[in-house]
Structures are given as structure tokens and as C-alpha cells.
Amino acid sequence: MSYAYLFKYIIIGDTGVGKSCLLLQFTDKRFQPVHDLTIGVEFGARMITIDGKQIKLQIWDTAGQEAFRSITRSYYRGAAGALLVYDITRRETFNHLTTWLEDARQHSNSNMVIMLIGNKSDLDSRREVKKEEGEAFAREHGLVFMETSARTAANVEEAFINTAKEIYEKIQEGVFDINNEVRKKHFPWELLAITLLSRY
Amino acid sequence: MFRSRSWFGGPWGGRPKNRLSLEHLKYLYSILEKNTTVSESNRGLLVESLRCIAEILIWGDQHDSLVFDFFLEKNMLSYFLHIMRQKSGGSSFVCVQLLQTLNILFENIRNETSLYYLLSNNHVNSIMVHKFDFSDEDVMGYYILFLKTLSLKLNTHTIHFFYNEHTNDFPLYTEAIKFFNHPESMVRIAVRTISLNVYKVQNPSMLRFIRDKTAAPYFSNLVWFIGKHILELDTCVRTDIDHQSNQKLSNLVAEHLDHLHYLSDILLLEIKDLNAVLTEHLLHKLFVPLYIFSLTPAPPPPSLAVVTQNLAAVLNRNVDIDIQEMHNPRVSSIVALFLLSLVFLVVSHAPLVHALAWVILNGDHSVFKEGAAEILNSYVEHREVVVPGFGEPNESLEQALDTVTGQSSSSSYALSEDSGVESSSPATTELDSQADAVEAEQIKLRNITDEEKQLLQKSSSSTKADFAEMAKPFLDTVLHALDCTENDYLALLSLCLIYAMSHNRGIKNEWFEQFLAKSTRGAFSYKTALIEHLLNIITQSSQPSSRIRLITVEIALELLVTFTRPSSDDSRCITVAQQDLLFSARNQSMVVLRNFYRSEDIFLDLFEDEYNEMRKAQLNVEFLCMDSTILLPPTGTPLTGINFTRRLPCGEVEKARRAIRVYFLLRRTCQKFLNEKESLLPLTNVVNLVQVENVLDLNNSDLIACTVVAKDSSKQRRFLVIDALQLILVEPDAKLLGWGVAKFVGFLQDVEVQGDKDDSRCLHITVHRGGVTHNRTPLLSAKFLFDDHIRCMAAKQRLTKGRSKARQKKMYQIAQLIEIPGQMDSPVYAVGGTMVASSSGGSGNSSGSSSRSSHHRPMFSTANRVPGFAAVLRGSNSAGVSRTQMAPNRSIEGIRNESAGRSRRRSPSSTSGSNLTADHSDRERSPSVSMGSHSSSQSRENSQPRSTGNRSRESSPRMPRPRSEEIPLEDFQHSRNNSPHSRGNPSPASRSQTPIRVLHYDQLSGHSGSPREASLGGTNALLSQLNGLAREVPPTQSSEETSFIGSDGNEPTGGSEGRRRGAIETV
């Protein structure tokens, strides 16, 4: 399948906030959400269309990175977009956002698009973090915010696609540098890789 | 999607209704059974079945154990394997699904027993060694994630499922590391994660396997991969003199840092054997032959050598030039210094950094000749001599070395053998070919270095003296690089390297120190040489139009402090002459700065802004070295996007900024050497400012009533108060008559006032945020409506005047700070130049205390103009005096004295005693004298008797107080504030040297103070202060003040009232 751009995403946040479930929910629609089943996966890819262009989203869950500094830093640098996920039913996952964000800002390029996701919006009865708090946090740190539910698939699609749109806009604005590294010889898929251009 | 549905509805029928059930799994099993051969027609069906199996298995794991039993019983994994191995029918479509199913399976499974069962037959290992079509990026992604998921399951129990001790098989690891140089960064990251997860498992036999069979080939390949990357980086630096391909360079640097951090993470796992191999490879295959080698002077350009040789060939003669040597890879010394810095900043594995540091500091060209073992030997010997008892036994290093070298060639072969992979697969081929390349490279290097050594020996004609000269060529290069005559391009990186070495945790401090202390030629120790170089840089940086960047100055100063340790008196190692050099550099920077001293507003803004910037930005060399731009020649233009401190100034404003910053840096360092605390900066002491919600006594202050109309046309009734520094909007206090609560505060210096064309009672007032580079939205921008035209004009005048006075005052402070000639009284002159006059803490009260007192405009200067108030002052003597005096104190003296300032606000906890002492210490400018302790411990009785004695003194005619009473405050303020022009103003406003004045000040500050004073109502405190016994005065005694206040009419009031009173006085 051919595509105009390849956007690499990472998903970050505390364990158990539903990162890999979000990922599976978005990349593989065949897995329909079932009430008593939690399935996730760490990798996935999906084509989307923005502005008439085929764009491939490749999403990498960063599980297992915490133990090693080198892994953390590399992950952030490799991605054009990041979904920062917390669990609305667990306050501490929200409290840790600052740390995650600091990490992300420190290691990633400043142009990485970060979207804040309050997951498990289906569990409203057990909610510990108000939607307004998420909104306020996002506003304060200049993030896009959305509440999703990997279980009911609510807003999952939007979260990934809106992030992609923002990246796409940045490309149009020339903020992102599209690095046409043509490596046809061995790796024909590496036609387009998105790297980030630091803004002057 | 709809197709998949139709399949289920189709020929096989009988599909159970419940998607998540054992029945459904059985049904899916029947499909697998019936479709053992993948074909075009059943592909979709198989894919959907495999997908459903994942779902059901996970559901079963969470809900119904029978599901898993069935899966295992039927050995369904073998079907997976069977499907996978079929070449036909577009396998990648099916394989993606298979891998996804496996991923889901291993990632989501919670039941340990199920996991063990899944792993127990060898299917998983067989799947791992299967050669998928890795050119499909999805297959690649799922595959590597599958391995990563499994690696996360590794522990001392599960390791046996993956590592077969008998067959020396460890496909999880060996398959994964084959992708270590995959072009997709995410794949490489996964490989690194897998390898780290593997190393982490504490299984001796597995680690032995890793070391014996894989370590040498893997590490040598990795090192080669990194090396190639470095050559690319070097090319980029060489070709990009104009900062054009910054993006590429910064990516290369970031990528290299990734590698280094990875290596560091491996080393941090503290697996001895593995670390020994890795250390060996890094040192002898990368650091020494490439980095260190690049520190040697470059050979003649290859072209010349080629020409010579060609000529020789033509002439049929034998010329002794080795072309190969010319091609020996080397990087520019800039890059070499940078890379070495990075090593020391990132890696802290002691044997490695220690050995490398040793080579740099002690090594000579024999390093190249004698190769691996020799260096380690010398390192080890050296280590025993210098740092006895240093950790790692040298045996293990030696042994490891032998083992690895013995096996290195065979084991790379073993790698492909063991994993049962044909070398036809692209990945393996690449690995092998790279291994060959590395081998070749090494042979090449060895040859070359031999030649090099010979050449060297020839050239140095082997006289012993000459040899001694050349003994430390690398260190010489590093030190020579510090020369900034032309620019600081190399010097910055050399400083980074020295900084990184001296701050590396793996290098023992004593060792480093000892080394530096060693004398080289003549009497100079390396340390002396280094300090001299640093001072050279510092001196040069203080010159006008210096070509040294701020960051270079900052690191140089930091290193100077590190190496001379000014803070510890006994081990301080700087000579008087050296210290003088430093001070004269500071004075020189002050001279340079004076040229920029202008009356324009922007200078003050720049000055304050630079100070804040400097305080905010802590020196972080690690962050600095992530910035690839330091690899390129220094530039001046901000168009490159380079941070101001990392380039040269561009234009007048930036030159001023630079001059200011250099001065600040030097001033700060000099203060460290003098053991001084900063007492004059920042110009505004935040502690002394009125804050929003402070409650202020506004009796006798000039208040102008107004209505503040905000942009959104909301109206608020406020009173405008103009302080020496601040504009304050207050609201009357609900409880106390004559008091107000501050609702808004802003700096007068940032106020902009405009009249209104249409309304003569109206002013447009904007209060900007301070500083030049910050958020430009104003703090306040509103229309002020006054009761009448007169009041409006009065407000406008006061604001305008207030603004210029506030600025003048600060400009005056700066003038004092940088000792602008003719701007101050001679005694003050000494004060302004931080250290000139400074004497150690011992200097007596009298001389020390005198130096600092100065008086400024009172807080509410307007108050003093009120005739009634003036009368009160005179009439009621001390009370009035104290108030007028106190205010001036606040403005400048207060700035210096935090505690005093705080107490003037509402801080019931602080005591007047402490104020006093603090003031003293401040004045003496000897922070070492700790005065706070005096304050509270003293008994009240003690001081009371003395106080009487003091009283008499107080009333003596020499007391300045009366003087100040008589001089119209406004006037002297004025003269003072204008002082840049009015030199030598003898008025009390200027910093007087007389002790009396000081005492007076004390009394005031004490007075201004604190809560308890009021309740005590004795005059003793003041008196005791005057007596010079102030320190012994217990806090409570400052009650004196109360008495003054009391004379205002408040005397009878209880403690709380008195306290408030004190607090308010502040304002």
C-alpha cells in the first residue's frame, strides 16, 4: 500500500491506563469492544486520509521503557506525535502527567504533537478526575485534550486522527521537515520519514 | 470486513452464537484443521480465525480456564507454525495476523501457568527463527514487538524456555540483535530494549553464553556502526561551516547520544564479564583508534602523499610513505573533543572512563602501537599505583580480553550457525559482512599505528628530552585547544571535556586531583597550567569586543572554581597573583560595562533582565553538549536560532547584554573567592515589596481616589498609592480605619501614563511586565477616572515622576555597582565595588557598619509633604523621625536585608533583634559573622540597663536624625535620585560613612520591625542598639519602637494593635 506520509506515534502514560487497548481499538476495528474482555497490543498501523492524502499511522506502545534511560530518550525522539494517556478513575495517573510531560518535552523535539487523553470515560461512576481538570491541564500546557473510552470506542478514532491532522498542518506550515530519505535499495518502505525541524 | 462475515455464514456453518466461548474455539480449531494449506481462497477465513482465536484465548485467560486447556491440548501453536512456513498464498497477509495474534496472546495473558504452557514446547522459538518477510514494515513491526513482549516476560524461571543451555541456542536474543542497525529507529529501539531485558536476567549460564558466543561480534559490530555514524557526523561538521544543514547535524548528534546512553545502560547493569568485553571494544576499537587518534596532529594531506608516491613510482624509487596511514579514519579535533566530552558526560563505568581519562592525561603514541592489551596493562598498573584498592580486579579484565580475542572471529560465525540461519538471509549477511569490515578495519588500524609510531620515533630523534616533551601529546592538544586568541571554537569543547572529566562519577576525584597536581616540565603542575589557561580565557573575555562566547566564560569560571575551591580555606589553591588576575578581569569587565551605561530606559531593563536570566539558567554542560551547534564555528547572527549565550553578540543591544552578563558572571565568581554573599543584586528585593493582599497603614499617606475601568468596562473603586518603587491600588480595610488592602501592585518603572483627550479627569494607565524578553501583555491596562481634574493631574504627575525616580534610583544603584566615577561619594565607591573594600569578617562593627547606610526616598514620599504630618514629626520627635527615616531605609537598605524587610511587612515571627543583627552583618559585609543567633537568646533585663545609657547618646547632637527631620525629604530624595548627575551629595541621603548614621539606621529598622515590640513598650532596644549592644537585645526589646509609635497616639493600644502598627510602617 502506498502512502504520502508515515507518522509515527508513541503512547505514553502510567501502566494500566489502557494504552495498548486504545491502540488496538484504533488500529484494528475487527476487535469489537466487548464488556468483559480487555485486549491490547503494543504495535499497530492504520491508513487514514487527510486532505485527500493517504497517511499511514504507525503506533508504538512504549511499554518496558521505564527501566532504561536510553530507551526512553530514543522513543520520544523517533515520534511525530504522542498520546499522553491517564485514567479518569485513578487520580494518581493524572497526577503523574507532569512528570510524563517533562520527560516528553525534555527528550522529544519541541514540535512533537502531544494529545492528552483521559481514558475510560465509560466508567463515569468511578470517575476521580473531572473533565474540567483535564481540560485545564491541557490548556495550561498547550495540549489538545479529549476523553476517550477504549471499551466503547468513544472518541478513539478522533483522538488519533486529530493528532494526525495537527501534524499534517504543521507539515503544511513547514514547521516539520519532511525528510525524503529514499532507501529503496533495501528498505522500500522507508520512503518518507518525518523528522522535526526545530523552529527558529 | 463483510467478506469475513460471509465466510462464517458460508459452507462451514454451525458457528456458535457466542463469539467468546469454548465452543467457538473448537469451531475455529476445526477450521484450522480443514485448511492446513493456505490458498488464495481460504486466506481470509484463516486470518479471521486466527484473529478470533486471540480474542477467545484472552477471554479464556480472564474467564474460563478450559479454553486454554483446549488450545494446549490441541497443540494449536503447531498449526500456526505450519501456516507460517508455507510460502504460498501471500504469506505476509497471514503472517501479520499470526504475529498480531501471538502478540496479543503474550501481552495480555495474566495466568502464569498458561504462559509456561505456551512456552513449554519449542514452538515459540521456532516462530522466532522463522524468516518472515521483513521488508514488509508491518511484519517487521509486529515481529520485533513480539520479541520485545517476550523479553519483558524474561526472568530467572522463564529464561529456560528461551535459552537452551545444551544446544547453546538463544534465538530471542540472537535473532533480535541482528536488527541492531535496522533503518527504522523504532526497530532499533526495540532491539536495544530486548538486549537490555536479556542482560538484566541474572542467569550465569545464559550470560556466559552471551559473553562467549555473542558479545564480541555484537559489540564489535555495534561499535563499528557507531563509528561509521561518527564519520558521517564528522563529514557533516566539516561541510557545514555555514550552519545550513543544522537539522541533519542535530539528528546525528541525538542519534549518537542514543547509542552512548544505550552503552551506558548496559554498563550500568554491572555484569562484570559483559562490561569487560564492552569496555575493551569501546576503548580499543573506537575511543582510542578514532577519538584519541584524532587528537594527534593531522598528517600531510593525502593528495600530497599520493603525488609523492606516484612520482616515486614514475622514478622507480622506493619512497617510504604509507598511503594507508593517510586514509586512516580520523575526525576533526572539534568532533573528537566533543565526542570525548559526551563519553564522560554519559558513561560512568569506572574502568572505562578511568582508562580513557588515563589515556588522555598520560598516554602517548604508544597507545596506538601497543594496542588493546598494552593500554589496559598500563591502565591497571597505573591504577594500582595511584588509586590503591580501586574496585575491579585486573585479572578479570585480562581474562576477558584473552577469551574474546581468541574467539572473536569464530563466534561471529557461531552466531549464525547457532541460530540455524542460512547466511543467505539479508540480515545475517549484513552482520557478517560488517564483522569482516570491522576485522579489516582493525588490521588496517594496527598497521597504521605501527607506522605512525615508527614515524614518530624517527622524527623525535629519540633524545630523551624530546621524548619527554612529547610524552603527553593528547593532553597537550586539549590544553592547547584552550587558547582563545582567535576565537573560542575549540576552547569551548576542550572546556566541556575537562568539565566532563572532572565531574564524572566514575573517575575518582583524588586521582584526578593527584594527576593535576603532578608537575610537568619545570615547576608547573598541570593544574597551574590549566588554571592559567582558564584565567587567560577569563581575562580575554573581559576585554571589549572579545570573541569569546558567554557559555565559554561560564564554564571557564565554573572550572576555575572547581579547581581552586575558593570555598574551603585550607585547600584553596590559587595564588595571590592568579586571584588578582581574576579581580582585574572583573574590573575590566566593569570598565567595558560602563561604556554601555546609558540613561535610556532599555539599559535598566536589560540589566535587570540579564540578572534574572543568569539566575534562572544553571550551567548544565550535559544539555549544552546535546546542542549540535557548538560543533560549528561560532557565529554572531541570531538567524541561526542559536541561543544567545552560545553565540557572539550581534548589534549594540546584544553587546550591552553580553557586557552585563560577563560582569555578573565575574562578579559572582569573585564573590565566591572573597566568601561574600551578593548584597546589591537584584536591584529590587522582592521581599521588600508590597504584595497583593497586604494590609497597609495609610494614615498620612497621599491617597488619590479613583475608579478603575478595565478593558471589559468593569469598574472598581480604588485608592491610588504611589510608593518609591511601586504603584499600589488599595481598597479600604474593613476593620481598621485608615488602613487599606493592596489589590494591585505594579512597578512604577514599568508604568505608562497617558491623558485622555476628551476627559480631563481621566488617565490611561498601563503597567507592563518587567524585563525585555518576557510576556508582553501588560499587567494592567485600564482607564482611571478621578474625581476632578486637579486630582487627575496630581496622579499623572506623581506617576510620571515616580517612574523616572524609580528608574533613576536603580540607575544610581547600577552606577554604584559598576563604580561609575563621579557618581557617588568616595566611601560609597568602595562599597559599590563589591570586593575592593571588603575585609574579612573580623573588621569591627564601626568601620564595617558605616559603609552601607544610605537613605532613600521614603515609601510614601507624599506623606512627608503633608504639612500636618511634618508638624507631627517635629513635634513628636522620635516617632516622626522614625517614620521618615524608616522609609528610606526600606528602599535601599531594606533591599539588602531580607529579614529586616520581611519584618517590616507583617511577620509576627521575626524579631527586631534579628533585624538589627542582620543589618549589622549586612553592613559589615561579612556574611561569615552569623548574627541571627544573637537576636533572641538574650534576656531582656540584660539590655535594659544599658538602654538608659544609650538614651543619652541618642539625644546627642550628633544624631543624624534631627538633620533628616529638618531636611525636606522630598528634596534630598530628589538630589539623591538624580545622583548620577549630582555627584558627591553630602545630604544624609547619600551613603554616609559615619557610624552614627548606621546606628540610626539600625534603630529604624528595628523600629520598623515586629510584632512583639509593641507590647513591651520600652525604649531600651533602640538605646541598646545605639550602644552597639544591639545584638544582645532580645527580640522583645524592640518594643522601643512601639514607644515611638505610641507617641503617635497608639501607645496604650495592646499588643496586636502595636504589631500591626509595626507592620504597616513598612509600607
pLDDT tens profile B287-307: 888 888 888 776 655 566 666
Evaluate if residue B342 carries a pLDDT over 60: yes
pLDDT band per the 50, 70, 90 thresholds, residue B853: very low
Residue A186: list chain B partners with CB under 8 A.
Answer: 135, 183, 426
Helix (H) or strand (E) holding B718: strand B715-722
Domain spanning B686-818 has what CATH number?
2.30.29.30
Tell me, what's the pLDDT at B970?
A: 41
Where do we find the cell 504603584?
B727
Cβ of B262 within 8 Å of Cβ of A34? The answer is: no
pLDDT in tens, B641-658: 788 888 888 888 888 888
pLDDT band at B752 (very low <50, low <70, confident <90, very high): confident
pLDDT value at residue B497: 92
Closest CB to B193 among A65, A183, A200 = A65
- Residues B828-843 have a mean pLDDT of 37
In the prediction, which pLDDT does A119 show?
92
Check residue B631 and report its DSSP letter. G
Contact by Cβ (8 Å): B922, B896: yes
Contacts of A67 in chain B (CB under 8 A): 196, 200
Q: Worst-scoring range by mean pLDDT, A90-99, B221-230, B666-675, B845-854?
A: B845-854
Which chain B residue has its CA at the smallest distance from A106's CA?
B623
Nearest to B107 among A40, A71, A188 (CB): A40
| Dist. CA B809–CA B35, nearest whole Å | 92
- pLDDT tier for residue B890 given thresholds of 50, 70 and 90: very low
SS (H, E, C) B306-344: HHHHHHHHHCCCCCCCCHHHHHCCCCCHHHHHHHHHHHH
B921-934 pLDDT, tens per residue? 444 444 443 444 44
pLDDT of residue B608: 82
B749 pLDDT more than 80: yes
What is the least distance, in Å, from the CA of B75 to any CA of chain A?
A: 23
Residues of A in contact with B19 (CB under 8 A): 34
CB contact under 8 A, A195 and B262: no
| pLDDT tens by residue, B583-619 | 888 888 888 888 888 766 778 888 888 888 888 878 8
Interchain CB contacts (distance < 8 Å): A and B: 128
Q: Do B183 and A187 touch (CB under 8 A)?
A: yes
In terms of average pLDDT, the best of A133-137, B668-672, B1042-1046 is A133-137
Query: C-alpha grid cell for residue A113?
Result: 504533537
Predicted confidence at residue B264, as pLDDT, reads 93
Q: Which residue has cell 539590655?
A: B943
Quickly state the pLDDT bin for B91 (edges 50, 70, 90): low
List of chain B residues whose C-beta atoms are within 8 Å of the C-beta of residue A189 = 135-137
Inter-chain touch B135–A187, beta carbons under 8 Å: yes
Specify the pLDDT at position B522. Answer: 53
Pick the residue with more confidence: B12 or B167? B167
Find which of A1, A38, A71, A184 to mutate to test the B interface (most B CBs within 10 Å of its CB).
A71
**Distance between A70 CA and the closest CA of chain B, angstroms:** 5
Q: Residue B1040: name the closest of B1065, B995, B1004 by CA.
A: B1004
Whether B573 contacts B565, CB under 8 Å: yes
Lowest mean pLDDT among A54-58, A165-169, B186-190, B930-934: B930-934
What average pLDDT does the segment B26-35 reach?
84
> Strands of A144-147's sheet, edge to edge?
A43-50, A53-61, A5-12, A81-87, A113-119, A144-147
Distance from C-alpha of A32 to C-alpha of A47, rounded to nearest angstrom:
18
Window from B444-453, B806-815, B1038-1047 with minimum mean pLDDT? B1038-1047
Question: Which among A39, A68, A186 is the nearest to B104, CB-wise?
Answer: A39
- Residue B265: which pLDDT band, with cuts at 50, 70 and 90? very high
CB contact under 8 A, B104 and A67: no
CA distance A50 to chain B (A): 21
Gap between the Cα atoms of B985 and B975, Å rounded: 7
| pLDDT for res B928 | 41
| pLDDT greater than 80 at residue B540 | yes
Strand order in the sheet with B715-722: B695-697, B739-747, B726-732, B715-722, B704-709, B780-786, B762-767, B751-755
| CB contact at 8 A, B876 and B961 | no
> Rounded mean pLDDT of B226-238?
88
Q: Alpha-carbon distance B805 to B280, whole Å?
A: 68
pLDDT over 80 (residue A85): yes
Average pLDDT over residues B109-113: 84
List, for residues B139-198, the tens digit of each pLDDT value.
899 999 999 989 988 888 888 889 888 888 888 988 888 888 888 888 999 999 999 999
- Say whether pLDDT at A103 is over 50: yes
Residue B1012 has pLDDT above 80, yes or no: no
Judge: A71–B193 Cβ closer than 8 Å, yes or no: yes
Residue B753 confidence (pLDDT) above 60: yes
Pick B292 or B940 by higher pLDDT: B292
Exposure string over B363-372, b if 16+ CB within 10 A, otherwise e: bbbebbbbbb
Is the pTM higher than 0.80? The answer reads no
- Overall average pLDDT of the B727-748 stretch: 84
Average pLDDT over residues B370-379: 48
Q: What CA–CA distance (Å, rounded) separates B180 from B218?
A: 9
Instruction: Provide the pLDDT for residue B613.
Output: 82
Nearest by CB to A78, from B148, B185, B247: name it.
B185
Sort strands A113-119 and A144-147 into parallel, antiparallel or unpaired: parallel
Evaluate if residue A178 carries a pLDDT over 70: no
pLDDT of residue B266: 92
State which residue of chain A sits closest to B200, comparing Cα positions: A67
Whether residues B247 and A197 touch (CB distance < 8 A) is answered with yes
Cα(A29)–Cα(B667) distance, rounded to whole angstroms? 65
Considering chain A, what is the average pLDDT of its residues?
A: 80
Q: How far apart are CA B762 and CA B793, in angstroms?
A: 9
Helix-, strand-, coil-residue percentages of chain A, each rounded to 5 = 35, 25, 40
Q: Three-class SS of residue B370?
A: helix
Non-local (6+) Cβ contacts of B419 within 8 A are B129, B169, B171, B174, B175
Give residue-wise pLDDT tens across range B54-85. Answer: 888 888 888 888 888 888 888 888 888 888 88
CA B4/CA B264 separation, integer angstroms: 49
pLDDT, residue B574, reads 74
What per-residue confidence (pLDDT) applies to B136? 85
Q: Looking at beta carbons, which residues of chain A come within 8 Å of B54?
A: 39
Residue B760: pLDDT band with limits 50, 70, 90: confident
Confidence of residue B318 (pLDDT cuts 50, 70, 90): low
Query: Which pLDDT score is estimated for B772?
Result: 54
Note whether B258 contacts A74, CB cutoff 8 Å: yes
Q: Is the dihedral of CA B542, B546, B547, B550 positive or negative?
A: positive
Across B272-286, B320-334, B901-915, which has the greatest mean pLDDT? B272-286
- pLDDT, residue A184, reads 27
User: Does pLDDT of A181 surpass 80?
Assistant: no
Q: Which is more confident, B851 or B514?
A: B514
| Over residues A132-139, mean pLDDT | 92
Alpha helices of chain A — where are they, by DSSP H? Answer: 19-27, 69-78, 91-95, 97-107, 131-141, 156-173
Burial class, B1031, CB count within 10 angstroms (exposed 0-12 / middle 13-18 / buried 19+): buried
Q: Which residue of B has its CA nearest to A62?
A: B190
- Which range, B152-156, B411-415, B574-578, is most confident? B152-156
Share of residues in chain B with pLDDT > 70 (%): 59
Is pLDDT larger for residue B31 or for residue B338? B338
Domain A5-194 is found in CATH 2.40.37.10: no
Alpha carbon distance B394, B373 (integer Å): 12
What per-residue confidence (pLDDT) applies to A93? 93
Residue of A6, A39, A61, A186 to mutate, testing the B interface (most B Cβ within 10 Å of its Cβ): A39
Kindly list the domain boundaries of chain B, sorted by start residue: 14-168, 482-674, 686-818
pLDDT of residue B790: 86
What are the extents of the domains in chain A? 5-194
Which of B56, B258, B349, B628 is best to mutate for the A interface (most A CBs within 10 A)?
B258
Residue B257: the pLDDT is 92
- pLDDT on residue B467: 41
Q: Where is pLDDT greater, at B569 or B510?
A: B510
Q: Which of these ranges, A9-18, B384-393, B658-667, has the smallest mean pLDDT?
A: B384-393
When the pLDDT of each residue in chain B is averaged and rounded to a whole number, the result is 68
Lowest mean pLDDT among B36-45, B154-163, B184-193, B659-668: B36-45
Structure confidence at residue B345 (pLDDT): 92
Whether A43 and B142 lie within 8 Å, measured CB to CB: yes
- Contacting residues of A for B55, CB less than 8 Å apart: 31, 34, 37, 39
Minimum-distance CB partner of A77 among B192, B197, B254:
B254
CA dist., res. A78 & res. A194, Å (int): 9
Per-residue pLDDT, averaged over B78-94, amounts to 75
Residue B431 phi/psi, 5° resolution?
Answer: -60, -50
Interface residues from chain A to B (CB-CB < 8 Å): 8, 20, 24, 28-31, 34, 36-43, 45, 58, 60, 63-65, 67-71, 73-75, 77-78, 177, 179, 183, 186-190, 195, 197-200
Q: What is the pLDDT of residue B14?
A: 59
pLDDT at B949 over 60: no
Q: Which of A166-170, B116-120, B639-643, B795-799 is least confident?
A: B639-643
Distances (CA, A) of B968 to B219, B800, B869, B893, B999: 82, 21, 12, 20, 21
- Greatest Cα-to-Cα distance within chain B, rounded to the nearest angstrom: 119
Q: Which chain B residues have a beta carbon less than 8 Å from that of A12?
A: none
Least confident of A12-26, B700-714, B811-825, B928-942: B928-942
Say which range, A72-86, B319-333, B682-696, B750-764, has the weakest mean pLDDT. Answer: B319-333
Q: Of the spans B248-252, B339-343, B914-918, which averages the highest pLDDT?
A: B339-343
Q: What confidence tier does B338 reach under pLDDT thresholds 50, 70, 90?
A: very high
